[in-house]
Structures are given as C-alpha cells and as structure tokens.
Structure 1
Amino acid sequence: MNCIVCHAQLTASDYCPKCGCNVKALKKVNALSNLYYNQGLEKAQIRDLSGAITCLKRSLKMNKLNIQARNLLGLVYFETGEVVAALSQWVISKNMMPQGNPAEGYIDRLQKNANRLDMINISIKKYNQCLEYCRNGNPDMAKMQLKKVLSNNPKLIKGYHLLALLYMQEGEYEKARKRLKAAARIDKTNTTTLRFLREIEEQTGRATSLDSRFKIKEKEIEKKDGSVVYRSGNDTIIQPPEYREKSITNTLVNLVLGLLVGAAALWFLVVPAKTQKINQAANKKVVEYSDKMATLSAELDRMQKDMDASTDSVSTAKSQIDAANAKAAGYENLIKAWQAYRDGSYGTAANAMEGVAPDALSVEAKGMYDTIMSEIGGTVKANYQAAAGSAMEAGDYDTAISNLEKALGIGSQDSNTMFNLAQAYDKKGDTQNANKWYQKIIDDYPGTEDAQNAADYMQANGGQAADADEGQADNGEDGEENSGEVQGASEGEPVTQDE
C-alpha cells in the first residue's frame, strides 16, 4: 500500500515513513475494500451474482484502485450477459495497471473471437429493438425477437425478464415460470427474478422450486446364474432368476412379435418425428422470414421519415433561396432605377421600378424607393396601365388584374383604373370582386360617368348598388365639382387624375 500524499511504501505504522502523514483511515478504507471484495467473491462462487455486484461496487467505492475487485466485477457482469459493462470495467482496470493485469487477457480473448463478439452486439441491438416493439404495442414481434436473442446470448438475464413479463401479461404463467427459472440458474438472488416468481405464485397458487432435481437410476452391476444385481444409492437389490420356458415356437412367436412391434414403432415414432422435424424447419424459416420482414419494415419506415424530413428541408431551403433571389433582384432593379433617375432617364427608371417589391426593402432602401416614385410614379403607373390594357386585349385577365392592382398602389387611386380593374374581374367571371370595385367607384366618385357605368354593370351582375344621383346629392359640393368631369367624359374627353 502506498501513501496518498507522497506515494511512499507504507509500513505497519499508522504514519507514513516519508512524509509523516496519518494513514490510519486509509488503511481502514483499504481493509473495508478487501472485505467487500472477499464477500463478493464468496457470493459469486455460489452464483449469488446480484449480491456479488453489490459487494464489489462497495469495494470499488472504498478503493477504486482495487484491480482484483474491478476484474471480478467485469467477470460477474459478463456472466449476467452485460458484456458492455464488463468491457468497461476491464478497460478501466487495464488503464490503471497496464502490466500484468488479467483484464488484458479477458479483453484479448473476447476481441479475438470476432463471431462471438458480433453475435453479442447483434443480440444487444435486437434486445433494444424488442423494447421498442413493447413500447409500440407489438408483443408478438418482441417475443419472437427475444427467443432469438436468448439463443444467441443465453446469459442475458434482462432478456429472460422481458420475455417472462410478456408471458405474464398474456396469462401464460407456466411459460413465464420456465424463463424465470432459467434466469435463476444464472443468478440465484436476482430481485427482479424473485419478484416475478412471487407474482406468478400468487396468480397460479403453486410454489416454484428452484432446487435441482436429480433422479438416481438403478444400475445393473452384475449377473450371476441368471440373477440380476442392481444398486440403488447405497442399497443393493438382488433379483432372483425367472423361470422361462424355452422352445422353438416361443422363439418364433417372440421374433414375429418383435418385428411387428419394431414396424409399429417405426411407423408411429420415426415417421411422425420426421414429419415434425420438417414442420419445425418450416416454422423456423417462417419465423426467420417474419423477423427479416419486420426489421426491413422498420428500416423502411425510418428511411421514409428521413426522406420526408429531407424533402421538407429541401423545400424550405428552396423557398428561402427563391425569396433571397427575389429580394436581390429587387435591390438590383432599385439600383438600376436610381442610376437611371440620376441620369434623367425616367422611362428606364420606371421600367426598373416595376421589378422592385417595396415590402421587401430595408428602411434606407424604402426611402430611396419613395424618392424615386415621387418623381416617376406617374410613368410607372402608366406602364402598369398600358400592360394591363394589352393583357385585356389578349384575354389574359389575371395579368391585367395584377398590373391594375399595382397601378392602384402607386399614388392616389383613380376611377378609371378602378373601373378597368372591375371590368377585368367581370370578364374573368369573378362577379363578387367586380361588384366590390363597382361599389367602390360608386362610393368614391358619385355622379361621374364611371359611377353610372359601374351601377349599370353591377345591376347586370345581379348586385344592388346605391343610386349615383343620390350619392351626388349626398356629397353636395363634391358633386358639383365632379359635374365638370362628367361633362368632359360625355364629350369624349378622357377622364384623368393628376399625379
């Protein structure tokens, strides 16, 4: 034992011979660690693995450098099927004592047997998959997988517990008892095993015996003078010879009976056995294919979810890219419009401004946009109106509606553009929006020719509109001012609105 301060070799004294540190407590801790190790070793020898794990953990809690306790804990974990936990303890032990450590041999033997290690890894993965099946309400698939897991890793106590729990849930208590007895042969005092067995005993009313039962068969040891000597335990039984009448007829009868019995045995035992073997092989294949199908189905569902998530990510990224491109194009058009505006090319600036979305601009860029539009807004508006007129002539009412709405968004609204927008909706067949704009013209421009025409079209569409003349009377002086515009319209002069 070494001092924890100066790492000097300690003697029988309670003080370190080098630094003088009091090491009495350290010696007591090491003694407790060794005591717990010895208790764990005794429990492991009688297959009380749960108790051994508890004692060895306490030993390592007292002295984490107790290499023997750590190696033994790894062996106990390995015996219960917990290979990962066993490897963890052995790796830690090897790092603490690289030279002359038995843990190195344990790790090498396990790693050299690649098939065994792969089988253990597969069994652990399948056990985790069984847990998922149970959580998803698929106990049948979990039971089939667990049987395969236990055939590959027969020491996995958790597998026996989960399979027994599934049987108990379905009321198959005898099958659950059988699995728990197999777990008890590995670890006699496992609390989960004992708790499940007590539950089964309460449900069935029958106790479970975990003691091994050995049947001592009588053995024939000697034959003398027709007598037969048997030994059963410590007792010797001598059977006297039987009198048998021997004749050729009896011999032939016995021979024929023997042949008949042999043929019957062949027919009733061998043939069904072969049939049963074939059926078992077929059932095994069906189980294997069902297992593969379930695994492939789960993998397919996972891949489908991944593909859907990737599709959503691509769609989101594409939308963001399109929005960024549109925003960049808007800024490019704004720069072109600004340069053209400074050069005095208002027509070029107006064409460039048509490709700018003001809602997507920053505060500074919106100020630049408003400055340009205050000067060339009329030109931009006229371009939208001209494009809408061309679209109306071509029968493309959606394009006409889009351009007219953009024109209305520039400067103040005018009745002419509103009337053309209502006409575009009307020719498209959308009478609801057409009547909405007709009514707006009647409300905003009462007494004008556009208001009268809007009322006529709205009445033709089956709508009810306020009378234009009444609207004019209600507006008073506004009606008198608009009378000049109505007269100008009646004389064939176009009605325009100041920009």
Structure 2
Amino acid sequence: MKCYNCGAQLTGDSICPNCGADVSVYNDVVKASNAYYNRGLEKANVRDLSGAIEDLKMSLTFNKGNIRARNLLALVYCEMGDVVEALSEWVMSKNIKPEKNLAGSYITRIQSNQTRFEAVTQNIRKYNVALAAAKEGNSDIAIIQLKKVTTQNPKFVKAQLLLALLYMKEKEYARAKKCLNQVLRTDVSNTQARRYLNEIKRLESDRTAEAQDSFLPKLKSRKTETQPLNGNDVIMPHSSYKEPSNGAITIINILVGALIGAALIWFLITPARYKGLTSDYNQSILEYSEKLSNGNAELNSLTRQLQDVTAERDTLNQKLESISGVDGNNKLLTAVIDAANAYIANEPTKAAKYLVDVDVSSLPSDNAKSLYNTIAAATTASAANELYNTGYSNYSRGRYDQAVEDLTVAYKLDSTKADAAYYSAKCYVALDQTENAKKYYQYIVTNFPTSRYISEATTYVSTH
C-alpha cells in the first residue's frame, strides 16, 4: 500500500514514514475497498454476477483507484453482455494506471476484431430500439428485436429479462420461463429473474384454479314414468259425419275448397313472403354497408400506422447511420476510445481532434458520456489554442488549405474564438469556396457583433 500524499510505501502504521501524513483513515478506506473486492471476486467465481457487481461498485466507491476491482467489474459486465459498460471501465482503468495494466490488452483484443465489435454494438442498438418500443406499448416490435439480440448473444441479461417480461405480458409463460432460466444460467442469483419466476408460478396457479372452477357438476336427469293407457280410460266420441249420397256435391266441394285456398295464398301468403324477402334484402344491404364502412376505417387506420412506422423506421435509420457511419463502424464509441488512448499517451491535441465531431448525447451509456466529458475538459482549451496558432502560421505563409483545417477545428473546439472564425473565412475566400466563407462570416455576424471583424463580415454576407 502506498501513501496517498507522497506515494511512498506504507509500513502499516498510521503515519507515513516519508512525509509524516496521517494515513489511518486512508488505511481503513483501502482495506474496506479490498474487502468488497474479495467478496465480489468470490461471487463472480460462483457466477453470482449481479451480486459481484454490487460489491465491486461498493469497492470503487471506497477507492476509485482500485484497478483490480475496476478490471473485474468490466469482465463481469462483458460476461453479462454489456460490452459498452465493460469498455468504459477498462478505458478509465487504463487512464488511472497506464503501465502494466491488463485493461490495455482487453481493449486491444476487442478493437482488433472489428466484425465482432460491430456485431456487439449492433446488438446494443437493437436492445435500445426494443426498449423504446416496449415503453411506447409496441410489444410486437420489441419482441422481434429482442429475439434477434438474444439469438446472437444469449448471455445478454438485460435483453433476456425484458423479453421475458414482454412474454409475461402476452401470457406466454413457457417462453418467459425459458428466457429466465437462461438468465439464471448466466447469473445464478439474479433477483429480478427469480422474482419473475415466482410471479409466473402464481399466475399459472391462479389460471389453473379458474379452469377447475369453470367445470360444474352435471345434474342427473330424472326419468319420468308413464303408465300405459288401457281401453277403459279412453272415451270414444260418436262421429256425426255422414257420407254424401251424391258424387257431384263432393266434386263441387273440392273445387270450392281449391278456389278458397288459392285466394288465401294470393292475398295473404304471397305479399307476406315478398315483404319478408324485401326486408331480408334491405337488411343484407345494410350489413354489407356497415362491413364496408368498418373495413374502410380499418384500412385507413392501418395506412396511418404504416406511415407512422415507416417514418419511425426512417428516423431510426438516420440515427443509426449517424452513429455507425456508412462503413458500419461505431464511430462515436471508437472516437471516444481513440481519444482516451491519445490522452493517456499525453497527446491532448490529438485527443481533442477525435472528440470534435462526437455528439455526447448520442453515446450509448452514461460511462461513455462521463469519459467524453473528462477528456474534453482536459484537452479542449489547450488544443484550440495550439490549432489556432498552427493555422494562423500557415495562413500567414499562404498555405490556405492546411491553415483552414486547423482553424475550423480550433473554432469547433472553442466557439468563443472570433479570430479562428475570421481567418477560417479568409482561407475559404482565398480557396474560392464562397459558401464556406459566407458560413464563417455569418458566425462572426451572429456571435461576435462587437468584434473588429463585424464590418467586413456584414459586407461579405450581404453581397454574396
């Protein structure tokens, strides 16, 4: 253990033998950090990864310079599929201890295989898209994306948990349990996975109880016994019908009955039949009209949904292209890592150049954003001054194409430099690039209305 004040080796006493600083509290803090590191290491060895993360984070809370704890935390993140979080931890570890640090070999190993690195970052982007879709209620889109992610990386714990939760929402409990069992194979003590399994067990038992209650016992039908009638129980009435004595009368009666029946059919049954047919026809037309109206409404709704999904797809593709670039590499994250390596190598200007076109809000994690802010705060001001001096020197010698590269970057790094914007515009004028020159003169008009360049800038903008 070394003294925090002078770096001398401590002997275990409460006083540093070299500088005399009181290191009693420091000793306790370092011991607590090491104790949590040992607990985290034990949990990681038995694949209790979530528990290991908690202990390792606590270890770093006591001592941010505990390199072993930070490197182990990154390894645990990598095992759980969070490669971006792992890279952030390794870069910070390398920044704290540049020499004899395993973090450097881990970073090199990941960067050397660009295909694998791109596949991992694609998975993370798909997970973020699925998470956003799930928050908006688009479960189908989220499930499709998460299936792709978990197929390529079954150990991605966050993706498996989110997919299991969506399956539970859709009442597909068998699929949800499959995802949760995969999580427990990766992280044996994952509290969230076990809580989901208990909830599935409760839901399945409730569904079984409801199914059993829905079957009611059948009532036995009682057979009614009937006693046969005998001849004594039936009284036969005497018939008053007499056979007609003349056959002509019978024929006349038959004809009269036929005429009466025909009249009844014509005046009563036929109109009622036609009226029923007309009513059925009108009802059918009404039903078909309603179905057609509902179909048109549904078609319009689906058309609007398709337009919304298409617009969302185009927006996501634009964001993806801005992050990944046309060559398929993750430019933002790679730029931050390259900037960190340059900063560690004591090349602040080079590090600032890597960060100049990085949109910090588009970085995939808070650790990456924190790393960006740390490097930018340490390098931006000095790099802007150095690049301005180099650019102005080349401008004075007539090397406009070289000068404009440094001057524009200097203005991007420090937007308060009116001189950088002015000489950038002058270089573009000399290179006959009117639009670029007008853009930088406009910066002066908008941002530096009291500068000594305002008259020239206003004239150029108004005349070109």
The TM-score range, normalised by the shorter chain, is 0.3 to 0.5
Q: Normalised by the size of structure 2, how large is the TM-score?
A: 0.45
Task: Return the structure number with greater relative CO, CA threshold 8 A, min gap 6.
Answer: 2
Pair member with larger Rg: 1
TM-score, normalising length: structure 1? 0.42
